[in-house]
């Protein structure tokens, strides 16, 4: 047993609890200077890992003994913060932050408060921000950088690194956190002039530490893999089937293809997924880089791929008219949407046509020109639509949540930014239904065989969040009979049906989304609340998601009769991958959201002074937020609202005045008065308050 484990064991038995370092040395019989130094170093390591803490008298003790909880601090510009934990978030007032900063991992003590969810920071385990991005300003006493992440701090004192000019956006490495003084940092890179669109986008990528360049070893492996010939090689040959891809107009990597045919009263659905695992060897430089990235990141003007272009855009991509390797899941589905048979096997396909959502929707709606061009696909697409409608109805019947929240489609052409709401047609819903079915089938396949699996899990809402959501719905006058301590997918589905087609429907969906836990990856199957699925994984996008690539490897081992080897080789790695892939997914989501907000604000600069209809999407003590039909959200400050005496009812999400109140879901009309590109914020006023 390692020395650290031996020490920890004695802490847990109580022998070393509430002891200072010199007392621990005496109890352990340590007398030499070198051994004492080694113990001091070991205790510091345990403290840095969060295994032990020091109490007010400097004694070592385990966090549990002091009743401490662990989490990540998410700060607010207004000073207060939240402690983010899987068990539920806690509120931390500004006075109780104890020097902790945004992003820090901390221990905190729950102190109750008026709502029972208040905490105070006890100690900082590790600092969360290793580098920041901001605008450099030179002063008489030296230079400072004002971070873009305003939740972090007001400014960082520059003590070295590259020389920058005032007004330039820079990346800064944090080097010191002096007590009572400014945080210190060194300039690593000059990004560009503040306020420029490209500079602001590059700054976001830098903030989230997204890797853009591939290591040379990974590129060399990709180039070598891409030269391999594509031959049947004992695979199941699907090249005689009518197989097509259906993607967006601007898609370049095609990792899923489908085939559908009706046999009597049953359907045979083939979901053919690019066999990326054939080209990316486990443990190689390419695999390590894909694991580090975790997922591709999609931005309005570019893609930061998980895999080099030789794979993602070429040999792995299921291109029209080209033979490609797949891992195929062929399912027989009855008229009730039940899978009554499935086969999963390595395959080879040749995509008959590269179809788009628009074309497929046009064919299904009877567009004469498209029907004439793709007459050979009409029978299959009609069968596919019929099957999709059965699957969609079955999922809805079991309580699957179709939130269908409007998403922005941002375009960039000739230096101009365009913005519209992304269409979600029957073809989108069809592909979604087929991919969900395949993901369930593969997860079940691995579970039934006792093999490890990287599940996609979505736990039910916590009692506190479900209760808050119910209170909000009751404030809207909506009937909601569900029990917060045991909310079910069917309960939330009933709420969606109640607001279907209403203007407030999108806001209710957003509040519902916030009440739910975030979907993540896990080594244990706890089901997927949002899909009302008992067993689910990600299998259908291995070009852009590492979890899918990992699941492919597991499926292949089981298919080859090597389930025991899968258990031995992957059980521990699946747990490591679950945490890592969840983190890289969150990083990608946050990056895409921040860049989208940047482009939205840039677009809205051309709408200054224009009036729009919108819906109140957020209510706070300092104002309201309004979301426009084009998905842009902006703030109306309290001082810009009609003069009144306002109080904030947090339970029912209402800003209540004596003459007028604002609640989430209210329809309003606004005027755009300001767009802050650097902060990625729009400011509105009500038309009557203009």
The mean per-residue pLDDT over the stretch 251-278 comes to 96
In 10 A of CB 333, how many CB atoms? Answer: 23
What kind of fold does domain 608-689 have according to CATH?
Answer: OB fold (Dihydrolipoamide Acetyltransferase, E2P) (2.40.50)
Question: What CATH number was assigned to the domain covering residues 131-194?
Answer: 2.40.50
3-state secondary structure of 133: strand
pLDDT at 139: 79
3-class SS letters over 565-576: HHHHHHHHHHHH
Q: How far is CA 525 from CA 82, 177, 433, 452, 453, in A?
A: 29, 41, 21, 10, 9
pLDDT band per the 50, 70, 90 thresholds, residue 529: very high
Q: What is the pLDDT of residues 320-372, one digit of tens each?
A: 999 999 999 999 999 999 999 999 999 999 999 999 999 999 999 999 999 99
Alpha-carbon distance of 76 to 67, in angstroms, equals 25
Can you say how many angstroms the Cα of residue 289 is from the centroid of all Cα atoms in its chain? 19
Q: What is the pLDDT of residues 441-454, one digit of tens each?
A: 999 999 999 999 99
Q: Which tokens sit at 117?
A: 């969810």
What is the DSSP-derived secondary structure letter of residue 351? Answer: B
Q: Which tokens sit at 110?
A: 């729950």
Residues 6+ apart with CB under 8 A from 670: 611, 612, 613, 614, 626, 628, 634, 636, 684, 685, 686, 687
Alpha-carbon distance of 362 to 371, in angstroms, equals 8
The mean per-residue pLDDT over the stretch 536-558 comes to 98
pLDDT at 419 over 60: yes
pLDDT at 1: 39
**Cβ atoms of residues 221 and 215 within 8 Å:** no
pLDDT at 114: 63
Range scoring the smallest mean pLDDT among 128-132, 431-435, 587-591, 668-672? 128-132
The mean per-residue pLDDT over the stretch 111-136 comes to 88
- Encode burial over 421-447: b for 16+ CB neighbours within 10 A, e otherwise: eeeeebbbbbbbbbbbbbbbbbbbbbb
Is residue 606 packed enough to be buried (19+ CB in 10 Å), middle (13-18) or exposed (0-12)?
exposed
pLDDT at 625 over 80: yes
In the chain, domain spans = 3-63, 67-126, 131-194, 216-458+522-595, 463-516, 608-689
pLDDT at 316 over 80: yes
Fold agreement between 67-126 and 608-689: yes
Residue closest to 678 by CA, chosen among 591, 593, 597? 597
pLDDT at 607 over 90: yes
Q: Assess if CATH 3.30.70.360 describes domain 3-63.
A: no
In 10 A of CB 471, how many CB atoms? Answer: 16
pLDDT at 7: 86
pLDDT band per the 50, 70, 90 thresholds, residue 112: confident
Average pLDDT of the chain? 93
Alpha-carbon distance of 273 to 601, in angstroms, equals 37
**Cβ atoms of residues 406 and 506 within 8 Å:** yes
pLDDT at 274 over 80: yes
The mean per-residue pLDDT over the stretch 221-246 comes to 96
Beta pairing, strands 339-350 & 236-237: parallel
pLDDT at 690 over 80: no
Q: What is the pLDDT of residues 28-71, one digit of tens each?
A: 888 899 999 999 999 999 998 999 999 989 999 999 999 999 99
Is residue 254 packed enough to be buried (19+ CB in 10 Å), middle (13-18) or exposed (0-12)?
buried
- Token look-up 């004694």 returns 59
Q: What is the pLDDT of residues 83-92, one digit of tens each?
A: 998 777 899 9
pLDDT band per the 50, 70, 90 thresholds, residue 2: low
The mean per-residue pLDDT over the stretch 279-293 comes to 97
- Token look-up 């808050």 returns 468
The mean per-residue pLDDT over the stretch 600-621 comes to 95
Share of the chain above pLDDT 70, in %: 99
Strand arrangement, sheet containing 266-274: 236-237, 339-350, 323-333, 266-274, 256-263, 244-247, 353-356
Indicate the helix (H) or strand (E) that contains 105: strand 105-112
Q: What is the pLDDT of residues 571-591, one digit of tens each?
A: 999 999 999 999 999 999 999
Residues 6+ apart with CB under 8 A from 312: 252, 253, 296, 305, 306, 543, 544
What kind of fold does domain 67-126 have according to CATH?
Answer: OB fold (Dihydrolipoamide Acetyltransferase, E2P) (2.40.50)
pTM over 0.75: yes
For every residue of 611-671, DSSP letters joined together read: EEEEEEEEEETTEEEEEETTS-EEEEEGGGSPS---EEETTTTEEE-SS--EETT-EEEEE
pLDDT at 689 over 60: no
In 10 A of CB 1, how many CB atoms? Answer: 7
Higher-confidence residue: 184 or 142? 184
**Cβ atoms of residues 608 and 673 within 8 Å:** yes
For every residue of 14-79, DSSP letters joined together read: TSSTTB-HHHHHHHHT--SHHHHHHHHHHHHHHHHTTS-EE-TTS-EE-GGGGTEEEEEEEE-TTS
Q: What is the pLDDT of residues 293-308, one digit of tens each?
A: 999 999 999 999 999 9
């Amino acid at each position: 047993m390692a020395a650290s484990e031996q020490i920890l064991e004695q802490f847990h038995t109580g022998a070393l609890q509430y002891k200072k370092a010199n007392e621990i040395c005496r109890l352990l019989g340590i007398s030499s200077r070198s051994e004492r130094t080694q113990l001091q170093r070991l205790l510091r390591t345990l403290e840095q890992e969060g295994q032990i803490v020091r109490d007010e008298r400097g004694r070592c003790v385990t966090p549990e003994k002091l009743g401490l909880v662990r989490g990540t601090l998410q700060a607010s510009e207004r000073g207060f913060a939240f402690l983010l934990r899987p068990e539920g978030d806690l509120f931390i007032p500004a006075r109780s932050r104890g020097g902790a900063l945004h992003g820090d991992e901390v221990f905190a003590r729950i102190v109750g408060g008026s709502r029972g969810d208040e905490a105070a920071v006890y100690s900082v385990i590790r600092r969360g921000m290793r580098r920041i991005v901001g605008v450099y300003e030179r002063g008489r006493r030296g230079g400072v950088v004002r971070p873009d992440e305003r939740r972090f701090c007001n400014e960082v004192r520059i003590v070295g690194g590259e020389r920058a000019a005032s007004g330039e956006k820079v990346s800064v490495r944090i080097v010191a956190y002096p007590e009572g003084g400014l945080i210190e940092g060194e300039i690593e890179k000059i990004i560009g002039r503040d306020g420029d669109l490209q500079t602001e986008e590059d700054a976001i990528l830098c903030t989230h530490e997204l890797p853009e360049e591939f290591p040379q070893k990974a590129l060399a492996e990709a180039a070598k893999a891409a030269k391999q010939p594509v031959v049947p090689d004992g695979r199941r040959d699907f090249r005689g089937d009518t197989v097509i891809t259906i993607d967006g107009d601007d898609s370049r990597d095609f990792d899923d293809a489908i085939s559908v045919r009706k046999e009597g009263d049953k359907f045979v659905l083939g979901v053919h997924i690019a066999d990326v695992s054939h080209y990316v060897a486990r443990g190689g430089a390419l695999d390590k880089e894909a694991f580090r990235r975790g997922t591709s990141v999609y931005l309005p003007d570019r893609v930061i791929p998980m895999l080099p272009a030789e794979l993602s855009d070429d040999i792995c991509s299921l291109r029209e008219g080209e033979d490609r390797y797949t891992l195929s899941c062929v399912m027989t589905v009855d008229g009730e949407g039940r899978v009554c048979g499935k086969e999963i096997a390595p395959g080879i396909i040749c995509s008959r046509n590269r179809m788009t959502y628009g074309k497929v929707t046009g064919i299904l709606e009877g567009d004469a020109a498209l029907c004439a061009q793709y007459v050979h696909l009409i029978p299959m697409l009609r069968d596919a639509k019929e099957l999709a409608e059965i699957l969609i109805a079955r999922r809805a019947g079991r309580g699957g949540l179709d939130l269908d929240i409007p998403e922005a489609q941002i375009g960039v052409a000739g230096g101009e930014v365009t913005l519209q709401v992304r269409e979600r047609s029957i073809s989108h819903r069809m592909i979604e239904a087929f991919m969900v079915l395949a993901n369930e089938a593969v997860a079940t396949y691995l579970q039934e065989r006792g093999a490890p699996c990287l599940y996609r899990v979505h736990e039910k809402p916590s009692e506190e969040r479900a209760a808050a959501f119910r209170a909000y719905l009751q404030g809207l006058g909506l009937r909601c009979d569900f029990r917060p301590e045991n909310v079910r997918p069917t309960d939330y589905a009933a709420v969606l049906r109640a607001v279907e087609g209403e203007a407030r429907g999108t806001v209710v969906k957003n509040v519902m989304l916030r009440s739910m836990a975030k979907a993540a990856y896990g080594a244990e199957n706890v089901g997927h609340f949002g899909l009302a699925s008992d067993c689910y994984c990600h299998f259908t996008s291995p070009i852009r998601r590492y979890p899918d690539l990992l699941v492919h490897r597991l499926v292949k081992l089981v298919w080859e009769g090597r389930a025991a080897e899968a258990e031995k080789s992957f059980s521990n790695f699946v747990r490591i991958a679950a945490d890592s892939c969840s983190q890289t997914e969150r990083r990608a989501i946050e990056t895409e959201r921040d860049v989208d907000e940047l482009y939205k604000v840039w677009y809205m600069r051309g709408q200054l002074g224009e009036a729009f209809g919108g819906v109140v999407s957020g209510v706070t003590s300092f104002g309201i937020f309004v979301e426009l039909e084009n998905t842009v959200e902006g703030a109306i400050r309290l001082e810009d609202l009609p003069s009144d005496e306002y109080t904030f009812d947090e339970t029912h999400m209402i800003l209540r005045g004596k003459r007028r109140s604002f609640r989430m879901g209210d329809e309003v009309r606004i005027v755009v008065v300001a767009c802050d590109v650097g902060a990625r914020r729009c400011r509105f006023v009500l038309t009557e308050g203009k």
